[in-house]
Protein backbone atom coordinates (compact mmCIF):
# COMPACT_ATOMS: atom_id res chain seq x y z
CA UNK A 1 0.00 0.00 0.00
CA UNK A 2 2.36 2.73 -1.00
CA UNK A 3 0.33 4.84 -3.36
CA UNK A 4 -2.40 7.36 -2.68
CA UNK A 5 -4.90 8.25 -5.38
CA UNK A 6 -6.93 11.43 -5.29
CA UNK A 7 -9.63 12.79 -7.56
CA UNK A 8 -9.47 16.53 -7.03
CA UNK A 9 -12.07 19.25 -7.00
CA UNK A 10 -14.39 17.91 -4.30
CA UNK A 11 -15.85 20.33 -1.75
CA UNK A 12 -14.83 19.35 1.77
CA UNK A 13 -17.33 19.72 4.52
CA UNK A 14 -17.92 18.21 7.95
CA UNK A 15 -15.45 17.80 10.81
CA UNK A 16 -11.82 16.73 11.02
CA UNK A 17 -10.48 15.91 14.51
CA UNK A 18 -6.83 16.68 15.10
CA UNK A 19 -4.67 13.94 16.64
CA UNK A 20 -1.91 14.19 19.21
CA UNK A 21 1.29 15.84 18.06
CA UNK A 22 3.89 13.73 16.27
CA UNK A 23 6.77 15.88 17.44
CA UNK A 24 5.56 15.63 21.05
CA UNK A 25 4.93 11.92 21.20
CA UNK A 26 8.31 11.11 19.68
CA UNK A 27 10.04 12.67 22.67
CA UNK A 28 7.49 11.46 25.25
CA UNK A 29 8.04 7.77 24.38
CA UNK A 30 11.82 7.78 24.94
CA UNK A 31 11.25 9.95 28.06
CA UNK A 32 8.92 7.28 29.45
CA UNK A 33 11.84 4.95 30.27
CA UNK A 34 13.10 7.40 32.90
CA UNK A 35 10.25 6.30 35.15
CA UNK A 36 8.75 2.93 36.12
CA UNK A 37 5.13 2.98 34.92
CA UNK A 38 3.61 5.78 32.86
CA UNK A 39 0.45 6.56 30.90
CA UNK A 40 0.36 8.64 27.71
CA UNK A 41 -3.00 9.64 26.23
CA UNK A 42 -4.09 10.91 22.81
CA UNK A 43 -1.36 9.08 20.94
CA UNK A 44 -1.54 9.55 17.16
CA UNK A 45 -1.78 6.58 14.80
CA UNK A 46 1.49 7.08 12.91
CA UNK A 47 4.40 4.87 11.96
CA UNK A 48 6.89 6.93 14.02
CA UNK A 49 5.04 5.61 17.11
CA UNK A 50 5.23 2.02 15.77
CA UNK A 51 8.96 2.41 15.25
CA UNK A 52 9.53 3.77 18.76
CA UNK A 53 7.42 0.92 20.13
CA UNK A 54 9.82 -1.51 18.40
CA UNK A 55 12.81 0.13 20.11
CA UNK A 56 11.08 0.04 23.50
CA UNK A 57 10.19 -3.66 23.10
CA UNK A 58 13.77 -4.39 21.99
CA UNK A 59 14.90 -2.84 25.31
CA UNK A 60 12.49 -5.16 27.14
CA UNK A 61 10.06 -2.39 28.02
CA UNK A 62 6.40 -3.44 28.38
CA UNK A 63 4.22 -1.47 25.99
CA UNK A 64 0.48 -1.57 25.43
CA UNK A 65 -1.59 0.69 23.20
CA UNK A 66 -5.37 0.73 23.30
CA UNK A 67 -7.72 3.42 21.99
CA UNK A 68 -4.93 5.96 21.76
CA UNK A 69 -3.64 5.37 25.31
CA UNK A 70 -0.21 3.88 25.91
CA UNK A 71 0.86 2.16 29.14
CA UNK A 72 4.59 1.71 29.49
CA UNK A 73 6.37 -0.30 32.19
CA UNK A 74 10.15 -0.02 32.19
CA UNK A 75 10.74 -1.94 35.43
CA UNK A 76 12.57 -4.79 33.69
CA UNK A 77 14.20 -2.90 30.85
CA UNK A 78 17.72 -3.69 29.69
CA UNK A 79 20.25 -1.39 28.13
CA UNK A 80 21.47 -2.75 24.78
CA UNK A 81 23.10 -1.15 21.74
CA UNK A 82 20.35 0.19 19.46
CA UNK A 83 21.40 -0.93 16.00
CA UNK A 84 20.83 0.84 12.72
CA UNK A 85 17.91 -1.45 11.95
CA UNK A 86 16.01 0.37 14.72
CA UNK A 87 17.63 3.81 14.81
CA UNK A 88 17.44 4.57 11.09
CA UNK A 89 13.66 4.42 10.87
CA UNK A 90 13.14 7.86 12.39
CA UNK A 91 14.93 10.97 13.55
CA UNK A 92 13.63 10.79 17.09
CA UNK A 93 15.42 7.49 17.78
CA UNK A 94 18.24 9.78 18.93
CA UNK A 95 16.17 10.83 21.97
CA UNK A 96 17.24 7.47 23.38
CA UNK A 97 20.71 9.05 23.63
CA UNK A 98 19.57 11.46 26.33
CA UNK A 99 17.16 9.03 27.98
CA UNK A 100 19.51 6.01 28.23
CA UNK A 101 22.46 8.18 29.25
CA UNK A 102 20.30 9.60 32.02
CA UNK A 103 19.09 6.22 33.25
CA UNK A 104 22.13 3.94 32.70
CA UNK A 105 25.01 6.43 32.22
CA UNK A 106 25.76 4.65 28.98
CA UNK A 107 24.21 4.42 25.55
CA UNK A 108 25.25 2.85 22.26
CA UNK A 109 23.14 3.83 19.29
CA UNK A 110 23.53 4.01 15.53
CA UNK A 111 22.84 7.03 13.34
CA UNK A 112 19.19 8.24 13.31
CA UNK A 113 16.91 8.43 10.24
CA UNK A 114 14.22 10.99 9.35
CA UNK A 115 13.37 13.23 6.43
CA UNK A 116 16.16 14.21 4.05
CA UNK A 117 15.59 17.98 4.23
CA UNK A 118 19.06 19.28 5.04
CA UNK A 119 22.23 18.56 7.00
CA UNK A 120 20.40 17.97 10.29
CA UNK A 121 23.55 17.60 12.37
CA UNK A 122 23.27 16.95 16.09
CA UNK A 123 26.54 18.40 17.32
CA UNK A 124 24.72 20.59 19.90
CA UNK A 125 23.23 17.46 21.46
CA UNK A 126 26.64 15.78 21.75
CA UNK A 127 28.32 18.93 23.08
CA UNK A 128 25.51 19.21 25.65
CA UNK A 129 26.15 15.64 26.84
CA UNK A 130 29.86 16.43 27.13
CA UNK A 131 29.09 19.54 29.18
CA UNK A 132 27.19 17.30 31.59
CA UNK A 133 30.32 15.14 31.99
CA UNK A 134 29.79 12.44 29.35
CA UNK A 135 32.36 11.12 26.92
CA UNK A 136 31.24 10.73 23.31
CA UNK A 137 32.98 8.27 20.97
CA UNK A 138 31.92 7.75 17.38
CA UNK A 139 32.93 4.48 15.68
CA UNK A 140 31.75 4.30 12.08
CA UNK A 141 28.03 4.77 12.44
CA UNK A 142 27.83 4.01 16.16
CA UNK A 143 27.67 6.62 18.92
CA UNK A 144 28.92 5.52 22.33
CA UNK A 145 28.10 8.01 25.06
CA UNK A 146 28.99 7.28 28.65
CA UNK A 147 29.61 9.00 31.97
CA UNK A 148 30.70 8.02 35.49
CA UNK A 149 28.24 10.61 36.69
CA UNK A 150 26.29 13.44 35.12
CA UNK A 151 26.74 16.83 36.71
CA UNK A 152 24.51 19.85 36.06
CA UNK A 153 26.04 22.57 33.87
CA UNK A 154 25.28 25.86 32.13
CA UNK A 155 24.70 25.11 28.45
CA UNK A 156 24.34 27.84 25.84
CA UNK A 157 22.85 26.54 22.61
CA UNK A 158 24.18 28.29 19.48
CA UNK A 159 20.67 27.93 17.98
CA UNK A 160 17.39 27.08 19.79
CA UNK A 161 17.36 23.52 18.46
CA UNK A 162 14.29 21.48 19.35
CA UNK A 163 16.19 18.19 19.33
CA UNK A 164 19.15 19.46 21.35
CA UNK A 165 16.81 20.99 23.95
CA UNK A 166 14.94 17.68 24.31
CA UNK A 167 18.08 15.56 24.54
CA UNK A 168 19.75 17.85 27.09
CA UNK A 169 16.60 17.94 29.23
CA UNK A 170 16.47 14.12 29.17
CA UNK A 171 20.16 13.77 30.02
CA UNK A 172 20.15 16.32 32.84
CA UNK A 173 16.89 15.55 34.60
CA UNK A 174 18.57 13.18 37.07
CA UNK A 175 22.03 14.79 37.01
CA UNK A 176 23.69 16.05 40.19
CA UNK A 177 22.91 19.75 40.66
CA UNK A 178 21.26 22.22 38.34
CA UNK A 179 21.47 22.54 34.57
CA UNK A 180 20.62 25.77 32.79
CA UNK A 181 19.84 25.71 29.07
CA UNK A 182 20.16 29.16 27.56
CA UNK A 183 18.71 29.81 24.10
CA UNK A 184 16.54 26.71 24.52
CA UNK A 185 13.76 25.93 22.03
CA UNK A 186 10.34 27.01 23.32
CA UNK A 187 8.13 25.01 20.94
CA UNK A 188 4.88 23.76 22.56
CA UNK A 189 6.14 20.17 22.17
CA UNK A 190 8.98 20.98 24.60
CA UNK A 191 6.35 22.22 27.08
CA UNK A 192 4.49 18.92 26.71
CA UNK A 193 7.69 16.99 27.51
CA UNK A 194 8.39 19.15 30.56
CA UNK A 195 4.83 18.61 31.80
CA UNK A 196 5.35 14.83 31.48
CA UNK A 197 8.73 14.80 33.24
CA UNK A 198 7.45 17.06 36.05
CA UNK A 199 4.54 14.64 36.54
CA UNK A 200 7.21 11.96 37.25
CA UNK A 201 8.80 14.19 39.89
CA UNK A 202 11.32 16.13 37.78
CA UNK A 203 12.01 19.76 38.65
CA UNK A 204 12.09 21.73 35.43
CA UNK A 205 11.32 25.44 35.38
CA UNK A 206 11.01 27.98 32.60
CA UNK A 207 8.45 26.24 30.39
CA UNK A 208 7.61 28.25 27.22
CA UNK A 209 10.72 30.41 27.66
CA UNK A 210 14.22 30.26 26.18
CA UNK A 211 15.87 29.66 29.56
CA UNK A 212 15.25 26.31 31.19
CA UNK A 213 16.37 25.41 34.70
CA UNK A 214 16.58 21.69 35.41
CA UNK A 215 17.18 20.84 39.05
CA UNK A 216 18.43 17.25 39.09
CA UNK A 217 16.43 14.74 41.15
CA UNK A 218 17.64 11.28 42.21
CA UNK A 219 14.67 9.27 40.98
CA UNK A 220 11.56 9.59 38.81
CA UNK A 221 8.42 7.56 39.22
CA UNK A 222 4.88 7.38 37.81
CA UNK A 223 3.95 9.87 35.14
CA UNK A 224 0.96 10.90 33.03
CA UNK A 225 0.55 13.16 30.06
CA UNK A 226 -1.93 13.89 27.31
CA UNK A 227 -0.25 14.61 23.98
CA UNK A 228 -1.01 18.15 22.79
CA UNK A 229 -2.89 18.57 19.49
CA UNK A 230 -0.64 18.44 16.44
CA UNK A 231 -0.32 22.06 15.30
CA UNK A 232 1.18 21.05 11.95
CA UNK A 233 -1.59 18.55 11.20
CA UNK A 234 -4.11 21.25 12.19
CA UNK A 235 -2.45 23.79 9.89
CA UNK A 236 -2.48 21.28 7.02
CA UNK A 237 -6.23 20.63 7.30
CA UNK A 238 -7.00 24.33 7.80
CA UNK A 239 -5.23 24.86 4.47
CA UNK A 240 -7.39 22.13 2.90
CA UNK A 241 -10.42 24.02 4.22
CA UNK A 242 -9.48 27.48 2.98
CA UNK A 243 -8.71 25.96 -0.44
CA UNK A 244 -11.62 23.53 -0.79
CA UNK A 245 -13.91 23.82 2.22
CA UNK A 246 -17.55 24.64 2.78
CA UNK A 247 -17.93 25.08 6.53
CA UNK A 248 -15.16 22.51 7.06
CA UNK A 249 -14.53 22.36 10.84
CA UNK A 250 -11.10 21.49 12.14
CA UNK A 251 -11.66 20.39 15.75
CA UNK A 252 -9.40 19.88 18.79
CA UNK A 253 -6.99 22.63 17.74
CA UNK A 254 -4.80 24.83 19.94
CA UNK A 255 -5.18 28.10 17.97
CA UNK A 256 -2.66 29.78 20.32
CA UNK A 257 0.01 27.45 18.86
CA UNK A 258 -0.67 28.73 15.33
CA UNK A 259 -0.52 32.52 15.74
CA UNK A 260 2.03 33.23 12.97
CA UNK A 261 0.21 30.87 10.62
CA UNK A 262 -3.12 32.67 11.16
CA UNK A 263 -1.41 36.04 10.61
CA UNK A 264 -0.42 34.85 7.12
CA UNK A 265 -3.92 33.50 6.39
CA UNK A 266 -5.27 36.95 7.36
CA UNK A 267 -2.83 38.70 5.03
CA UNK A 268 -3.82 36.34 2.21
CA UNK A 269 -7.51 37.03 2.87
CA UNK A 270 -8.58 33.48 3.75
CA UNK A 271 -11.98 32.78 5.24
CA UNK A 272 -11.64 31.07 8.62
CA UNK A 273 -13.20 31.58 12.03
CA UNK A 274 -11.81 30.46 15.37
CA UNK A 275 -14.41 29.24 17.85
CA UNK A 276 -12.70 27.92 21.00
CA UNK A 277 -10.76 24.84 19.90
CA UNK A 278 -12.48 24.72 16.49
CA UNK A 279 -11.49 26.45 13.26
CA UNK A 280 -14.25 26.77 10.67
CA UNK A 281 -12.96 27.21 7.13
CA UNK A 282 -14.42 28.18 3.75
CA UNK A 283 -12.98 28.58 0.29
CA UNK A 284 -12.94 32.12 -1.11
CA UNK A 285 -11.82 33.52 -4.44
CA UNK A 286 -9.23 36.28 -5.00
CA UNK A 287 -6.52 35.66 -2.48
CA UNK A 288 -3.63 38.08 -2.04
CA UNK A 289 0.05 37.07 -2.43
CA UNK A 290 2.34 37.24 0.65
CA UNK A 291 5.96 36.94 1.72
CA UNK A 292 6.72 34.25 4.28
CA UNK A 293 9.91 33.56 6.20
CA UNK A 294 10.20 30.49 8.41
CA UNK A 295 11.49 30.93 11.97
CA UNK A 296 11.69 29.15 15.29
CA UNK A 297 8.56 29.20 17.45
CA UNK A 298 6.51 31.38 17.71
CA UNK A 299 7.54 32.38 14.17
CA UNK A 300 6.15 30.77 11.03
CA UNK A 301 6.81 27.01 11.37
CA UNK A 302 9.11 25.45 8.78
CA UNK A 303 6.86 22.37 8.91
CA UNK A 304 4.00 24.43 7.42
CA UNK A 305 6.14 26.07 4.75
CA UNK A 306 5.64 23.36 2.12
CA UNK A 307 1.89 22.92 2.80
CA UNK A 308 1.18 26.69 2.59
CA UNK A 309 3.07 26.90 -0.71
CA UNK A 310 0.18 24.97 -2.27
CA UNK A 311 -2.23 27.69 -1.10
CA UNK A 312 0.05 30.39 -2.55
CA UNK A 313 -0.52 28.83 -5.99
CA UNK A 314 -4.09 30.14 -5.76
CA UNK A 315 -3.11 33.74 -4.87
CA UNK A 316 -3.37 36.54 -7.42
CA UNK A 317 0.28 37.56 -7.88
CA UNK A 318 3.82 36.68 -6.80
CA UNK A 319 4.47 35.30 -3.29
CA UNK A 320 7.84 34.46 -1.79
CA UNK A 321 8.81 31.87 0.82
CA UNK A 322 12.19 31.98 2.55
CA UNK A 323 13.28 28.83 4.37
CA UNK A 324 15.69 29.63 7.20
CA UNK A 325 15.79 26.36 9.17
CA UNK A 326 16.69 23.67 6.59
CA UNK A 327 18.81 23.72 3.44
CA UNK A 328 16.74 21.32 1.36
CA UNK A 329 13.05 21.82 2.00
CA UNK A 330 11.70 22.73 -1.42
CA UNK A 331 11.48 19.24 -2.92
CA UNK A 332 7.71 19.69 -3.23
CA UNK A 333 8.18 22.43 -5.84
CA UNK A 334 9.38 20.08 -8.60
CA UNK A 335 6.17 18.06 -8.44
CA UNK A 336 3.93 21.10 -8.00
CA UNK A 337 5.47 22.51 -11.19
CA UNK A 338 4.77 19.23 -12.97
CA UNK A 339 1.12 19.65 -11.90
CA UNK A 340 1.03 23.10 -13.52
CA UNK A 341 2.45 25.45 -10.90
CA UNK A 342 5.00 28.13 -11.67
CA UNK A 343 7.52 28.14 -8.83
CA UNK A 344 11.10 29.33 -9.12
CA UNK A 345 13.69 28.16 -6.58
CA UNK A 346 16.34 30.79 -5.83
CA UNK A 347 18.62 29.36 -3.13
CA UNK A 348 16.83 29.58 0.21
CA UNK A 349 13.81 31.36 -1.30
CA UNK A 350 11.09 30.42 -3.74
CA UNK A 351 8.97 32.68 -5.89
CA UNK A 352 5.44 31.42 -6.44
CA UNK A 353 3.66 32.93 -9.43
CA UNK A 354 -0.10 32.70 -8.97
CA UNK A 355 -2.80 32.01 -9.72
CA UNK A 356 -2.39 28.66 -11.42
CA UNK A 357 -4.74 25.79 -11.96
CA UNK A 358 -3.36 22.35 -11.24
CA UNK A 359 -3.79 19.12 -13.17
CA UNK A 360 -3.67 15.63 -11.65
CA UNK A 361 -0.34 13.86 -12.28
CA UNK A 362 1.95 11.10 -11.01
CA UNK A 363 4.01 12.64 -8.20
CA UNK A 364 6.36 11.39 -5.49
CA UNK A 365 6.59 12.17 -1.79
CA UNK A 366 10.19 13.12 -0.99
CA UNK A 367 9.61 13.95 2.69
CA UNK A 368 6.74 14.24 5.14
CA UNK A 369 5.63 17.85 4.64
CA UNK A 370 6.30 17.74 0.89
CA UNK A 371 3.82 14.86 0.91
CA UNK A 372 1.27 17.03 2.72
CA UNK A 373 1.80 19.79 0.15
CA UNK A 374 1.12 17.28 -2.65
CA UNK A 375 -2.03 15.94 -0.99
CA UNK A 376 -3.32 19.54 -0.74
CA UNK A 377 -2.45 20.10 -4.40
CA UNK A 378 -4.16 16.85 -5.44
CA UNK A 379 -7.34 17.84 -3.57
CA UNK A 380 -7.55 21.07 -5.63
CA UNK A 381 -6.32 19.68 -8.94
CA UNK A 382 -8.36 18.84 -11.96
CA UNK A 383 -8.48 15.05 -12.44
CA UNK A 384 -6.64 12.18 -10.81
CA UNK A 385 -3.32 12.43 -8.95
CA UNK A 386 -1.23 9.45 -7.91
CA UNK A 387 1.15 10.06 -5.01
CA UNK A 388 3.90 7.46 -4.55
CA UNK A 389 6.37 6.79 -1.72
CA UNK A 390 3.76 7.62 0.89
CA UNK A 391 5.70 6.01 3.75
CA UNK A 392 6.85 9.55 4.60
CA UNK A 393 3.25 10.73 4.97
CA UNK A 394 2.26 7.77 7.14
CA UNK A 395 5.06 8.71 9.55
CA UNK A 396 3.31 11.90 10.53
CA UNK A 397 -0.38 12.13 9.55
CA UNK A 398 -2.70 10.01 11.67
CA UNK A 399 -5.52 8.33 9.66
CA UNK A 400 -5.06 10.77 6.78
CA UNK A 401 -7.22 8.86 4.29
CA UNK A 402 -10.07 8.28 6.75
CA UNK A 403 -10.12 11.89 7.94
CA UNK A 404 -10.27 13.28 4.40
CA UNK A 405 -12.75 10.68 3.12
CA UNK A 406 -15.10 11.54 6.00
CA UNK A 407 -15.33 15.15 4.79
CA UNK A 408 -15.98 14.32 1.14
CA UNK A 409 -12.55 13.92 -0.43
CA UNK A 410 -12.08 11.22 -3.06
CA UNK A 411 -8.85 9.73 -1.76
CA UNK A 412 -7.80 6.11 -1.31
CA UNK A 413 -4.78 3.86 -0.82
CA UNK A 414 -3.67 1.48 -3.53
CA UNK A 415 -1.21 -1.39 -3.52
CA UNK A 416 1.85 -0.87 -5.68
N1 LIG B 1 21.08 21.94 14.05
C2 LIG B 1 22.45 21.86 14.10
N3 LIG B 1 23.03 21.16 15.12
C4 LIG B 1 22.30 20.54 16.07
C5 LIG B 1 20.90 20.63 16.04
C6 LIG B 1 20.30 21.32 15.00
O7 LIG B 1 23.14 22.41 13.24
O8 LIG B 1 22.90 19.93 16.97
C9 LIG B 1 20.41 22.64 12.94
C10 LIG B 1 19.72 21.63 12.01
O11 LIG B 1 20.61 21.13 11.04
C12 LIG B 1 18.59 22.43 11.42
C13 LIG B 1 18.23 23.42 12.54
O14 LIG B 1 19.35 23.44 13.43
O15 LIG B 1 19.05 23.15 10.30
C16 LIG B 1 16.95 23.09 13.29
O17 LIG B 1 17.06 21.89 13.95
P18 LIG B 1 16.21 21.47 15.23
O19 LIG B 1 17.15 20.70 16.10
O20 LIG B 1 15.48 22.62 15.82
O21 LIG B 1 15.16 20.51 14.58
P22 LIG B 1 14.91 18.98 14.90
O23 LIG B 1 14.87 18.77 16.35
O24 LIG B 1 15.83 18.15 14.07
C25 LIG B 1 12.31 19.22 15.05
C26 LIG B 1 11.16 18.52 14.41
C27 LIG B 1 11.09 18.95 12.95
C28 LIG B 1 10.93 20.46 12.88
C29 LIG B 1 12.06 21.16 13.66
C30 LIG B 1 11.89 22.65 13.74
C31 LIG B 1 11.04 16.45 15.62
C32 LIG B 1 11.25 14.99 15.63
N33 LIG B 1 11.36 17.09 14.50
O34 LIG B 1 13.47 18.81 14.32
O35 LIG B 1 9.94 18.33 12.42
O36 LIG B 1 10.97 20.87 11.55
O37 LIG B 1 12.12 20.63 15.00
O38 LIG B 1 10.69 22.98 14.32
O39 LIG B 1 10.56 17.03 16.59
C40 LIG B 1 8.55 17.50 10.71
O41 LIG B 1 7.71 17.27 11.58
O42 LIG B 1 8.31 17.42 9.48
C43 LIG B 1 9.90 17.89 11.11
C44 LIG B 1 10.95 17.86 10.30
C-alpha triplet 326, 332, 337: angle, nearest 5°: 135
Q: How confident is the model at residue 62 (pLDDT cuts 50, 70, 90)?
A: very high
Q: How confident is the model at residue 211 (pLDDT cuts 50, 70, 90)?
A: very high
Task: Confirm or reject: Cβ of 118 under 6 Å from ligand 1.
Answer: yes
Q: Is the pLDDT of residue 415 over 90?
A: no
What crossing angle do the helices spanning 259-268 and 231-244 adopt, rounded to 10°? 10
Q: Is the pLDDT of residue 416 over 80?
A: no
Q: What is the CA radius of gyration of the chain?
A: 21
What are 124-181's pLDDT values in tens digits?
999 999 999 999 999 988 999 999 999 999 999 999 999 999 999 999 999 999 999 9
> Minimal CA–CA distance to 141: which of 88, 193, 191?
88
The predicted structure's pLDDT at residue 1: 58
Q: Which CATH number is 22-226's, of 2.70.50.60, 3.40.1350.10, 3.65.10.10, 1.10.260.40?
A: 3.65.10.10
Task: Confirm or reject: Cβ of 188 under 6 Å from ligand 1.
Answer: no
Mean pLDDT of the chain: 96
Pairwise CA distance, residues 397 & 47, whole Å: 9
Q: Is the pLDDT of residue 119 over 90?
A: no
- Answer whether 209's CB lies under 8 Å from 186's CB: yes
Cis peptide before 272 (omega within 30 of 0): no
> Phi/psi at 159 (nearest 5 deg)?
-150, 140
**Closest residue to atom 21 of ligand 1, CA basis:** 162
Query: What is the share, in percent, of the chain residues with pLDDT greater than 90?
Result: 95
In the chain, domain spans: 3-18+229-414, 22-226
| Ligand 1 atom at minimal distance to the Cα of residue 22 | 41
- Answer whether 56's CB lies under 8 Å from 29's CB: yes
- Answer whether 380's CB lies under 8 Å from 310's CB: yes
The predicted structure's pLDDT at residue 104: 98
CA distances 216 to 22, 135, 177, 201, Å, are 27, 19, 5, 10
| Ligand 1 atom at minimal distance to the Cα of residue 327 | 15
Task: Confirm or reject: Cβ of 161 under 6 Å from ligand 1.
Answer: yes
Half-sphere exposure of 389 (CA within 13 A, CB side): 14
Class of the CATH domain delimited by 3-18+229-414 = alpha beta
Q: Is the pLDDT of residue 28 over 70?
A: yes
Whether the model clears a pTM of 0.75, i.e. scores above it, the answer is yes
Task: Find the 325 Cα to ligand 1 centroid distance in Å.
Answer: 8
Q: How confident is the model at residue 220 (pLDDT cuts 50, 70, 90)?
A: very high
Task: Find the 169 Cα to ligand 1 centroid distance in Å.
Answer: 16
> Minimal CA–CA distance to 228: which of 19, 415, 375?
19
Task: Confirm or reject: Cβ of 164 under 6 Å from ligand 1.
Answer: yes
Pairwise CA distance, residues 231 & 128, whole Å: 28
Q: Is the pLDDT of residue 225 over 70?
A: yes
> Minimal CA–CA distance to 155: which of 132, 123, 175?
132
- Whether 3-18+229-414 shares its CATH topology with 22-226 is answered yes
| Ligand 1 atom at minimal distance to the Cα of residue 301 | 38
The predicted structure's pLDDT at residue 188: 98
Q: How confident is the model at residue 2 (pLDDT cuts 50, 70, 90)?
A: confident
The predicted structure's pLDDT at residue 117: 80
Q: Among 162, 186, 299, 368, name the best residue to mutate to test ligand 1's pocket (greatest count of ligand atoms within 8 A of Cβ).
A: 162
Element (H, E) at 403: helix 400-406
| Ligand 1 atom at minimal distance to the Cα of residue 187 | 38
Task: Confirm or reject: Cβ of 302 under 6 Å from ligand 1.
Answer: yes
Task: Find the 302 Cα to ligand 1 centroid distance in Å.
Answer: 9
> Minimal CA–CA distance to 10: which of 378, 325, 318?
378
**Closest residue to atom 5 of ligand 1, CA basis:** 122
**Closest residue to atom 28 of ligand 1, CA basis:** 303
- Which of the residues are catalytic? 115
What are 346-403's pLDDT values in tens digits?
999 999 999 999 999 999 999 999 999 999 999 999 999 999 999 999 999 999 999 9
Pairwise CA distance, residues 168 & 147, whole Å: 14
Pairwise CA distance, residues 243 & 223, whole Å: 41
- Exposed e or buried b for every residue in 19-53, given b needs 16+ CB within 10 A? bbbbbbbbbbbbbbbbbbebebebbbbbebbebbb
Length of the chain: 416
Amino acid sequence: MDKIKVIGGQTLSGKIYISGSKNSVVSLLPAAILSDEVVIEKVPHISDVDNLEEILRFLNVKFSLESGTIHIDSTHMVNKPITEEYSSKLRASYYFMGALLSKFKKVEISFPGGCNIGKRSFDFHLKGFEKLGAKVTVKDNLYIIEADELIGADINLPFPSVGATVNIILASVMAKGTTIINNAASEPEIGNLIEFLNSMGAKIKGVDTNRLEIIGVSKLSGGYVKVIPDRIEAGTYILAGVMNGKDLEICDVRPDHLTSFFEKLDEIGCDYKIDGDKVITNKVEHLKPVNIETAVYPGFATDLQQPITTLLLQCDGVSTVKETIYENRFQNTKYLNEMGANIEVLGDTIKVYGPTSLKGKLVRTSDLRAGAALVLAALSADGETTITDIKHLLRGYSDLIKKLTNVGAKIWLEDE
